[in-house]
Chain A
Amino acid sequence: MMKKVAVIGVGLTKFGKHPKVSSRELFAEAAFKAIEDAGIDLKDVEEAFVGSFLPDVLEHQGHIAPLMLDYIGLTGIPATHTEGACASSGVAVRMGYMAIASGLRDIVLVAGVEKMTDFPTSDVTEALALASDDLFEASEGLTFPGVFALMAKAHMDKYGTTEEQMAAVAVKNHHNALFNPYAQFHKEINIETVLSSRVIAWPLKLFDCSPISDGAAVIILASEDVAKKYTDTPVWIVASAQASDTMALCEREELTTFKAARMAAEQAYKMAGVKPKDIDIAEVHDCFTIAEIIAYEDLGFCEKGEGGKLIEEGETEIGGRIPVNTSGGLKAKGHPVGATGVAQIIEVVHQLRGEAGKRQVDGAEIGLTHNVGGTGATVTVHILRR
C-alpha cells in the first residue's frame, strides 16, 4: 500500500537575471525558505533530489547534488542529480514522491536549479540544443526553438491555428506575471508586441519564446503522519506520472501533439481519480507559445485542434473556465530550465493554500502541473489537491 505524499514547504528565488550568482547560492536561498516554510529542521531531511539540465555545460560544474547539499551544510544523506532536459526537476519531484510513497523516507527535499544568464546567447542556444537528437537533427542546424517551430507549422497546417492565437498565450502570461513577485517580467504586452518582434525560428518570434533565466525552486515532501505534525495546510500530491517518446521529431507519428504528455496525463488522471474537467488550475510547459496550445489539447482541456480557440476565447485566463499559468508561465515568470518543474508545483501550492495574492483563483482545490523535457522525449504530469 503506497503512502500519501504531502508538500509541506516551498521556497523560490526570484526568476530572472542574477549576475555572477552561482547555482549553489540560488539553491541555498530557495532551500532555506522551503525548510523555514515547512517548519522542519535541516537535519530532518532524509534524502534529496536535485533537478538541473546544463550545469556541466554552462557553469562547468558536474556532480551537483552533493555540492548543493554541502553548501547548506547537509552532507551524509543520499543526494541525487536528475536530468530530463527542461523536465529535470519534474523528474526530481517524481523521484521524491516515490521515495515517500514507497515508505522508505518520511521527509525529502526536492529541488530544481539553473544558472543561464552569464553566458552568451549563442552558447545557451547551443547548450539547449543538447536536448534534441544531436546526430540526426541538431547537426542539420535545428535549434530548440526550431523544434517547436516545426510543430507550430504542422499545427497551423492541420488545424488552422494562427500566429495571433499563439501571441495571445504570451499576452495572457505576461499579464498574469504582473501579479507574481517572483516573475522575471512585470510588463504588459499586446498581440502586436509579439507579432512585430524579431523572428527566432519562423513562425516563432522572440515573444513566442520563454526567456533565458536564472533561478531555483525547492519543496519539502513528507509522509502523511509527519505532514500532520508540521502543518495544518498540507497539499497532497495525488498523482505523479512520467512518460517518454522518441528524441527525434522526424520519428513521431504526429507533430501536432506530444504523445508522452498524453500518456503521462492519462496515467495521472487515473491515479488521482479525476477528469480534465475537475482541474481548477494548471501550470503547463509554455516554453514556446505553441507548446501551451498543444498542452491544452494533450491534457484534455479542449478537443484536439481546438487549443487556439480556447486561448482566443479567454477560457484559460484567471476568471476563465480553466486558468492556465497563473504564475505567468515559463514565458513571463521565466524558465531557468532545471528549476521549472518544481516551480510549477510551488505555484499550484500557493494557489491551493490561497496564498496567490492578486492572481488567486477563488476556491481552487485541484491543480495540475505539466513539465515537458526537451523535444517532448520526457514529460511529467503531477496532480495536487488540498
Chain B
Amino acid sequence: MEEAERLVKKYFEFVSEKKFMGLKCKKCGAYILPPKSICKKCGSREFEWVEFSGKGSLYTFTVIHVAAKRFLNDAPFVVGVVQLEEGPRITARIVGVDPNKPETIKTGMPLKVTFIESDEKVLLAFEPEK
C-alpha cells in the first residue's frame, strides 16, 4: 500500500535546514502554506514542493510580553502574520524591529525571510527588507 507523503513533517525538515519551502498545486497552480492534504481551491491532492521567494509584507502583529514557558527567555518578542508574495500568509517571528516600540513597527512594511533558533529548534522568522 502506498503511503501518503508526510507533508507537515517534510515542511519542518526544510525549516530545520533553513529552507523556506511550500506546496504548489499541480492542477490549479495555487501556492499552499501551511501544508494541507488537499488544495482548498480545486480539491486536488497532487502537489510539488517549491522554494518560496521569502518576500512578503507585515499583515498584522503583536508583541508578546507574557510568553509561554518554553519562550520565557525570549520575551518581549514580536509575532506577526506575513502576507507572502506567492499568496498565502504565514505566522512567524518578526526580528530586526524594536519590541519595546510597537509604534515604530508598521503593518504593510516589506519583509524577507530569515531563521532564528529558539526552544532548541530552528524557527521561521522575517526581518525588514532594507
Contacts and interface: CB of A to CB of B under 8 A. Distances in A.
Is chain A's binding surface mostly helix, strand, loop or mixed? helix
A45 B8 CA distance: 45
Contact of A136 (B60, B74, B91): B91
Nearest to A120: B69
A4 B66 CA distance: 46
A40 interface: no
B66 A201 contact: yes
Interface stretch (A15-23, A248-256, A314-322, A348-356): A248-256
Chain A interface residue count: which class?
A: 35 or more
A146 B72 contact: no
Nearest to A126: B68
B68 A250 contact: no
B43 interface: no
A201 B123 contact: no
Contacts of B74: 141
Contacts of A154: 59-60
Contact of A142 (B12, B64, B72): B64
Given A141-B77, A146-B62, A201-B62, A250 B67 contact: no
B89 to A, nearest CB: 4
B29 interface: no
A255 B60 contact: yes
A122 B72 contact: yes
A123 B60 contact: no
A200 B65 contact: yes
Contact of B59 (A135, A141, A204, A255): A255
A202 B62 contact: yes
A249 B76 CA distance: 21
A139 B121 CA distance: 10
B99 to A, nearest CB: 8
A149 interface: yes
A203 interface: yes
Contacts of A142: 62, 64, 79, 91
Is chain B's binding surface mostly helix, strand, loop or mixed? strand
Chain B interface residue count: which class?
A: 35 or more
B6 interface: no
A140 B93 contact: yes
A366 B46 CA distance: 50
A199 B63 contact: yes
Contact of B91 (A125, A151, A152, A249): A249
A129 interface: yes
Contacts of A198: 65
Name which of B67, B80, B121 has the most chain A CB atoms within 10 A of its CB: B67
A225 interface: no
Contact of A250 (B12, B89, B123): B89
A153 B107 contact: yes
Contacts of B30: none
A251 B79 CA distance: 15
B52 interface: no
Given A153-B107, A202-B102, A250-B91, A143 B12 contact: no
Given A126-B70, A142-B91, A255-B59, A250 B102 contact: no
Name which of B34, B77, B118 has the most chain A CB atoms within 10 A of its CB: B34
Interface string A340-367: 0000000000000000000000000000
Interface in B38-96: 59-72, 74, 76-77, 79-82, 88-93
B108 to A, nearest CB: 9
A274 to B, nearest CB: 33
B89 A251 contact: yes
B123 A139 contact: yes
Interface in A87-114: none
A141 B81 contact: no
Interface of A: 121-123, 125-126, 129, 133, 135-143, 145-146, 149-154, 157, 198-204, 248-251, 255
7 contacts: A126-B70, A140-B92, A143-B68, A150-B61, A153-B62, A202-B63, A250-B91
Given A126-B69, A141-B68, A154-B60, 5 more contacts: A125-B66, A141-B93, A150-B79, A199-B63, A251-B34
